[in-house]
Copies of this chain bind each other. A is one copy, B any other.
Amino acid sequence: MRPIKRLIQLDEALSLALARARPVDRTEELLILQSVGRIAAEDVISTLNVPPFSRSSMDGYAVRATDTLGASRMKPITLRRKEVLYAGAIPRKPVGRDECTEIATGAMLPKGADSVVMVEDTEADGETVRVFKPVHRGENISKKGEDIMPRTKVISKGDFLNPSKVGALAAIGHDRVKVYAKPLVAVVPTGNEIAELGAKLEPGQVYNINSYTLAGAIQANGGDVRLSKIVSDSLGDLDKVVRENRDCDVLVFSGGSSVGERDIMLDVLEKSGEVVFHGVAIKPGKPTLFGVIGRQLLFGMPGYPTACLSNAYILLGPVLRKMARLPDAPPSFVDARMANRVVSTTGRTQFLTVRLEGELAYPAFKESGAITSMAFADGYVIIPADIDLIEKDERVRVFLL
């Protein structure tokens, strides 16, 4: 058996992993409808004016501003209505002196008019329109190109495409956009004791949990998942699965990174690539392996479900976000008080799952082999390596699961 030689602190592990993570350069073209949440891989420059014509921004009457000078409730000004314009209609008659055109929001401004009087400030009687308030030139109109002009850069390479940015693409008539591909992540469960869901459990076997929890965490952090079948703990089989997934940006193995004689992920990595770290001062999740094979990153996660998933949250997640060029996930937490005194191991960061009852956080951790340590918890507290005790009633930040 090969004991882990040196544990590194979580911060250092994360820095080392992030330093090896490169943003994915592959791109793909998507319909804008599918592009929200993705990262633009191109600048998009407008060739149009938006709006393509000057239009009314109110329901009212298109006028020449000078004609409304001095108008008031007491001394209204009277204009003659030339036509009625709904949105989408094309004005046929110019607006001359003491004339107006009834106009809907969004409709094209007729020639001659330079402003719009709001309907609230008028009273109409057939074709006679009384105006109670003056407008200045340009009032209540949106000028051609006011929103977007030709040569405006609507989207910059690297922009996060939120709904309004997608709206800007639509505004200039684009229904597609080039985005960066998501990092492709192979998820490989290892171990002769692991059985696939749906199969009958043989003696000594347990069901494959980690592929499904990892997949969820990978998708939530912008990755695409390729699920591998269960691989035995043999050098040949592990080598083969590495070769079969050469096109992936990241390989995530679960199981096989501990100190047992048959935990041979380390051999695979030493043979084909470079070990960056093996062993992190975190609880649970200590026997975590990270390295690179060429341009690929390789994580060897502990086989125990809670250890595997907590590592996915705190190590794999940030690495994938960097590769996917995504901003940090918005922190989702509540502040609570610890219901019991909690003793933590000095020198190791602890990922302590808790249940929330009102303001109180109850430790929910059973053991790292128990998925219910996490599945029956509401969140987790990160206890730093230099803290060895949380007193009862001490305030803690609970990150929600």
Contact = CB atoms under 8 A, between A and B. Distances in A.
Interface of A: 1, 3, 32-33, 36-37, 48, 50-53, 55, 57, 59, 86-90, 104-108, 119-120, 142, 146-148, 152, 154, 162-175, 191-194, 197-198, 201, 203-217, 219-220, 225, 227, 233, 255, 258-262, 303-306, 309, 312, 330-332, 366-372, 374-377, 400-401
Contacts of A201: 48, 52, 173
A174 B377 CA distance: 20
Contacts of A332: 330
A175 B196 CA distance: 9
A214 B154 CA distance: 19
Max count, chain B CB within 10 A of own CB: residue among A59, A164, A372:
A164
A237 to B, nearest CB: 14
A164 B377 contact: yes
Contacts of A166: 212-213, 216
22 contacts: A36-B215, A36-B216, A50-B371, A51-B206, A53-B203, A59-B258, A59-B260, A86-B260, A86-B261, A87-B192, A88-B194, A90-B203, A104-B261, A106-B303, A107-B193, A148-B372, A163-B217, A163-B309, A164-B401, A168-B376, A170-B208, A173-B201
A173 B208 CA distance: 8
Contact of A59 (B36, B209, B259, B305): B259
Contacts of A262: 86-87, 104
Given A86-B260, A197-B173, A227-B33, A167 B374 contact: yes
B305 A371 contact: no
Given A52-B201, A88-B205, A166-B216, 8 more contacts: A1-B59, A59-B260, A104-B258, A142-B367, A146-B366, A167-B305, A167-B374, A171-B206
A212 B167 contact: yes
Given A88-B192, A106-B191, A165-B375, A204 B369 contact: no
B163 A233 contact: no
Contacts of A37: 220
Max count, chain B CB within 10 A of own CB: residue among A146, A168, A204, A258:
A204
A3 B170 contact: no
Question: Which 4 pairs show the lowest CB-CB distances between chains A and B?
Answer: A163-B216, A88-B193, A88-B192, A168-B375
A305 B370 contact: no
A263 to B, nearest CB: 8
Contact of A53 (B204, B225, B370): B204
Contact of A36 (B55, B146, B220): B220
A53 B377 CA distance: 24
Contact of A51 (B51, B217, B369): B369
Max count, chain B CB within 10 A of own CB: residue among A55, A119, A206, A312:
A206
Contacts of A401: 162-164
Nearest to A4: B120
A304 to B, nearest CB: 8
A202 to B, nearest CB: 8
A163 B260 contact: no
Contacts of A371: 50, 147-148, 164, 167-168, 170-171
A187 to B, nearest CB: 10
Nearest to A198: B175
B204 A374 contact: no
B259 A119 contact: yes
Nearest to A227: B33
A164 B375 contact: yes
A105 to B, nearest CB: 6
Nearest to A168: B375
Contacts of A104: 258, 260-262
Contacts of A89: 192, 204
